[in-house]
Amino acid sequence: MAGASMATRKYGRARIRALVTGFEPFGDDPRNPSVDAIRRLPRRLGTLDLAVRELPTVFDRSRDLLARAVADLAPDIVLCVGLAGGRAELSLERVAVNIDDAPIPDNAGFRPIDRAIVTGGPAAYFTTLPIKAAVAALRAAELPASISNSAGTYVCNHVFYELMHLVAIAEHSLCAGFLHVPYLPSQVSRHPGAPSMTLEEIVRGIQIVLSVTAARIAAGEGAIS
Amino acid sequence: MAGASMATRKYGRARIRALVTGFEPFGDDPRNPSVDAIRRLPRRLGTLDLAVRELPTVFDRSRDLLARAVADLAPDIVLCVGLAGGRAELSLERVAVNIDDAPIPDNAGFRPIDRAIVTGGPAAYFTTLPIKAAVAALRAAELPASISNSAGTYVCNHVFYELMHLVAIAEHSLCAGFLHVPYLPSQVSRHPGAPSMTLEEIVRGIQIVLSVTAARIAAGEGAIS
Amino acid sequence: MAGASMATRKYGRARIRALVTGFEPFGDDPRNPSVDAIRRLPRRLGTLDLAVRELPTVFDRSRDLLARAVADLAPDIVLCVGLAGGRAELSLERVAVNIDDAPIPDNAGFRPIDRAIVTGGPAAYFTTLPIKAAVAALRAAELPASISNSAGTYVCNHVFYELMHLVAIAEHSLCAGFLHVPYLPSQVSRHPGAPSMTLEEIVRGIQIVLSVTAARIAAGEGAIS
Amino acid sequence: MAGASMATRKYGRARIRALVTGFEPFGDDPRNPSVDAIRRLPRRLGTLDLAVRELPTVFDRSRDLLARAVADLAPDIVLCVGLAGGRAELSLERVAVNIDDAPIPDNAGFRPIDRAIVTGGPAAYFTTLPIKAAVAALRAAELPASISNSAGTYVCNHVFYELMHLVAIAEHSLCAGFLHVPYLPSQVSRHPGAPSMTLEEIVRGIQIVLSVTAARIAAGEGAIS
């Protein structure tokens, strides 16, 4: 991971760099709000420069693409976004666990069961995003939000764990974490009775999470650890 | 109920009149999306002229205000809107039942238990709105929607039953029914994990229900019965 | 319907007759707790004589079998029992509505949509079972129970409506109603995360509903109306 | 921790020792199925000798009592059992996380927020129980069961983490983990609509988890790691 960003920032760089990722659709659902949302993010947001990347819903390849993007962009913030169909709120994940246990195959047809993501890696990593402050800011902005204690054991948790593993072995601290979002309203006709959230709310929510994190970095508090 | 509306329409009146009602907040929640939504409705919508009324969340008084509004306005369509906290979709109610059985007191402190709404009235009335067509149109417009088979036994069902009783004894047919809406996003901080819907979606949904109903009236199909 | 039962009872018959029905499995689930439960009921219970009948999960035929059983047995109490997968409690239905609107075909492949059950019949009938007293007795016996305001629009509601229609046109009053029961524990492996109830609890619950109803009849209070 | 048990077993001890804990009631609920269940366990179960301990629903004291019991008894298996009100199944927890974040105060009035359980401890520990085999055995015995990926951040997770921390620093391997159980049927009148499970099912489920684990130890497979 090219260590330029934090280092330069320490010597006066005014801009903070954020990488935001979303996932391709998976299963038999033709849409995934996470990728729709990141495509609508602005390139600049206050003191933030934003870069976005689309990840495949594939265990192994998603990790490689994420690692390359982090190496290329040397971001100060990485926020991975994924769909959690059935949840009603924006949920900021607290902890990534070192296990793949897939209820359905990924988009490449691979279905790992009870497999360590990083052999010999720690059982879990905590996010380094200020998740409590972010939830408070989201609610103040009238967006439903909460902390989640499980990102599951599918591709979302996989990417989240790989991300936090990159952070753990990086030379500088990095604010990194995972945001799960509900179905879009248009998806609910396939999932009757399920809660949903508009794309506008999701996009606005992502920006709030990024802004709260940027403000913390600007205040010199850096990553939670 | 002044019978002018349908009659005049038959002789060439181009405009269709709709009455839409919402409820004041109840319990310890300071907001009610139904009243917020009706305040944002336009006065004219295609061939429709809209009038709105706010009803108190009080068993007996809500009925009187509704009956007066129907008598004064002689509408072709009456849509009563209420909050169903915990539901995720716009739900069009199919049937109103002749019973008050309140889990909490109304805003006047009254809590009827197992009381007939109209003594000697039928056990239930079906809505005369085209609810299946409305649900299809809502879903086509990417709004979560479904049919509901119970409006509960609180003030919402009470008003719905009284409305359909007015329709039953009226001289002309009337498209009338009840729409339950989810919490607003801003209410969810008081109800963590509950589904929500934006005010914009709710307002748009009400307009779609009204337009679908107006189109049916214009096509000479009138009320479902 | 042979009117013997109530009449004889008025002249001193000590025994009260109850008919309890359950449904065959439907959809792709090989079991249905309602039929398993009625097979375990005793023939005599306090002052009650019990007869049981299995009904097919078929709209039209279920009604014919029910009507014949009521005519043959001249019961004082009729309790129809059905499965409501996903509910957690024994739920006593308050109201049957005059509509078939099937989300899936019945076991004969028939799927009525928005069809009146009895053409020209009332929109709904209320149960004549003492449902509030029954819920109180079930809870006192440590069984989860509640009132439900919708039996759906599938075969369960169909049979319930036909039952109450038989009661309405009968010459004597009859305590009749519908009890929905949860999945059995053994069914939950096909429906992960769904609530369940043991067969023993369900059988015990049915007996409590019957006993509470019998006590009311013995006290001369008869059917709720 | 007195290391006798495993060591002796290696040299031919036929009996396997299990410690099972439950919690006192907490919040305003007078019952806790976990403690009711452990009181009904037999002292011997196949090749197992069982000891039970009641833990207070108090963050710090629960840990001390657990550590003392483990030191005194030198068990081969430790299963902590707790209530997860609202869940429908027996849920075997996969992972304990190093954080206390209490939504309500414990029974001593203490409410830690975002506090590490063990300062400098790993972010999480995986259970060393054979949870997949146990879920399969529970389902085969017609008991609703599943794996859970979060034990929350209250006293249950606290005790689970402390348990796995004891295991991590112990000299010998130990099959240890946490089982969350649903409400009892008698508790549901306070929580209408919530799923429940009978005490008999819970007691039977605990015995199955213990037996599956004992069989694995007897087969020389020991703790999962």
Inspect the interface and report whether the beta carbons of A88 and B88 lie closer than 8 Å: yes
Look at residue A223 and tell me whether its pLDDT is greater than 80: no
**Cβ contact D124:D144 at 8 Å:** no
Locus of tokens 């069982």: D50
Q: Please provide residue C65's backbone torsions phi and psi, each rounded to the nearest 5 degrees.
A: -65, -40
Task: Compare all CA atoms of chain C with the CA of B131 and give the residue at the minimum distance.
Answer: C114
**Cβ contact D21:D38 at 8 Å:** yes
In-domain check, residue A24: yes
**Cβ contact D75:D124 at 8 Å:** no
Q: Cβ neighbours of residue A78 under 8 Å, at least 6 residues apart?
A: A18, A19, A20, A21, A70, A163, A167, A174, A175, A176, A177
* Closest-CA distance of chain C to residue B96, Å: 9
Sign of the torsion angle spanned by Cα atoms D155, D156, D158, D159:
positive
Q: Which amino acid is at B53?
A: R
In-domain check, residue D140: yes
Mean pLDDT of C153-182: 95
Give chains near A: 3+ CB pairs under 8 A.
Answer: B, D
pTM reported for the whole predicted model: 0.93
Distance, C-alpha D136 to centroid of its chain? 18
**Cβ contact C85:C77 at 8 Å:** no
For chain B, positions 63-122, list CB contacts with chain C under 8 A. Answer: 94-95, 97, 99, 101, 114, 122
Mean pLDDT of C132-161: 98
Task: Compare all CA atoms of chain C with the CA of D90 and give the residue at the minimum distance.
Answer: C193
On whether any CB of chain A is under 8 Å from the CB of B31, the answer is no
Q: How far apart are CA C49 and CA C112, in angstroms?
A: 36
Q: Is C113 exposed, middle or buried (0-12, 13-18, 19+ CB in 10 A)?
A: exposed
Look at residue C66 and tell me whether its pLDDT is greater than 80: yes
Distance, C-alpha B111 to centroid of its chain? 22
Q: How far apart are CA D91 and CA D147, in angstroms?
A: 5
pLDDT of residue B208: 98
Q: How far apart are CA C198 and CA A12, in angstroms?
A: 67
Q: Please provide residue D98's backbone torsions phi and psi, each rounded to the nearest 5 degrees.
A: -85, 60
Q: How far apart are CA C221 and CA C212, in angstroms?
A: 12
Task: Compare all CA atoms of chain C with the CA of D91 and give the residue at the minimum distance.
Answer: C193
Question: To probe the interface with A, which of D149, D158, D160 has the most A CB atoms within 10 Å?
Answer: D149
Give chains near C: 3+ CB pairs under 8 A.
Answer: B, D
Active-site entry in C80, C156, C165, C201 = C156
CATH number, residue B192: 3.40.630.20
Mean pLDDT of D144-150: 98
Look at residue B9 and tell me whether its pLDDT is greater than 80: no
H or E stretch at D64: helix D59-73
Look at residue C53 and tell me whether its pLDDT is greater than 50: yes
Locus of tokens 């509910």: C87
Higher per-residue pLDDT: C105 or D171 = C105
Look at residue A125 and tell me whether its pLDDT is greater than 70: yes
Mean pLDDT of A18-25: 96
On whether any CB of chain A is under 8 Å from the CB of D123, the answer is yes
In-domain check, residue C3: no
Task: Residue A195: list chain B partners with CB under 8 A.
Answer: 88, 195-196
Task: Residue B114: list chain C partners with CB under 8 A.
Answer: 132
Question: To probe the interface with B, which of C94, C113, C117 has the most B CB atoms within 10 Å?
Answer: C94
In-domain check, residue A2: no
In-domain check, residue D81: yes
**Cβ contact D31:D25 at 8 Å:** yes
Mean pLDDT of A153-158: 98
Look at residue A39 and tell me whether its pLDDT is greater than 50: yes
Positions of A marked catalytic:
93, 156, 180
The partner residue sitting opposite B124, judged by closest CB among C114, C123, C153, is C123
Report the share of chain A in percent with pLDDT over 70: 92
Mean pLDDT of B52-66: 96
Q: Which amino acid is at B80?
A: C
Is D156 part of the annotated catalytic residue set? yes
Sign of the torsion angle spanned by Cα atoms A84, A89, A92, A97:
negative
Look at residue B11 and tell me whether its pLDDT is greater than 50: no
Closest by Cα among A155, C172, C102, C187 to D139: C187
Look at residue B92 and tell me whether its pLDDT is greater than 80: yes
In-domain check, residue D66: yes
**Cβ contact A83:A183 at 8 Å:** yes
pLDDT of residue D59: 96
Active-site entry in D89, D162, D165, D180 = D180
Locus of tokens 């019957």: C210
What is the maximum span of chain D, computed from C-alpha positions, in angstroms? 53
Inspect the interface and report whether the beta carbons of D201 and C201 lie closer than 8 Å: no
Give the 3-state secondary structure of residue B154. Answer: coil
- Secondary structure letter of residue A191 according to DSSP: S
Assigned token pair, C161: 């409506």
In-domain check, residue D130: yes
The pLDDT tens digits for D173-222 are 899 999 999 999 999 999 999 999 999 999 999 999 999 999 999 998 76
Q: How far apart are CA D38 and CA D205, in angstroms?
A: 11
**Cβ contact C39:C69 at 8 Å:** no
Q: How far apart are CA D99 and CA C197, in angstroms?
A: 35
Q: Average model confidence (pLDDT) for chain B?
A: 92
Q: How far apart are CA D193 and CA C88, in angstroms?
A: 6
pLDDT of residue C223: 63
The partner residue sitting opposite B142, judged by closest CB among A89, A186, A192, is A186
- Residue D102's pLDDT band (boundaries 50, 70, 90)? very high
Mean pLDDT of D138-148: 97
Higher per-residue pLDDT: C28 or B163 = B163
* Closest-CA distance of chain A to residue B126, Å: 22
In-domain check, residue B6: no
The pLDDT tens digits for C5-52 are 553 455 455 799 999 999 998 777 889 999 999 999 999 999 999 999
The partner residue sitting opposite C95, judged by closest CB among B97, B125, B132, is B97
The pLDDT tens digits for D173-182 are 899 999 999 9
- Residue A222's pLDDT band (boundaries 50, 70, 90)? low
Assigned token pair, D223: 């703790």
Q: Average model confidence (pLDDT) for chain A?
A: 92
Helix C131-140, helix C199-218: angle, nearest 10: 130
Mean pLDDT of D47-66: 96
Query: Domain count of chain A?
Result: 1
The whole domain housing A109 covers 15-219
Task: Compare all CA atoms of chain B with the CA of A91 and give the residue at the minimum distance.
Answer: B193
pLDDT of residue C13: 59
Give chains near D: 3+ CB pairs under 8 A.
Answer: A, C
DSSP states along B157-220: HHHHHHHHHHHHHSSS--EEEEEEE-B-GGGGGGSTT--B--HHHHHHHHHHHHHHHHHHHHTT
Question: To probe the interface with D, which of A87, A92, A97 has the most D CB atoms within 10 Å?
Answer: A97
Assigned token pair, A33: 């709000």
Q: How far apart are CA D16 and CA D3, in angstroms?
A: 14
Report the share of chain B in percent with pLDDT over 90: 86
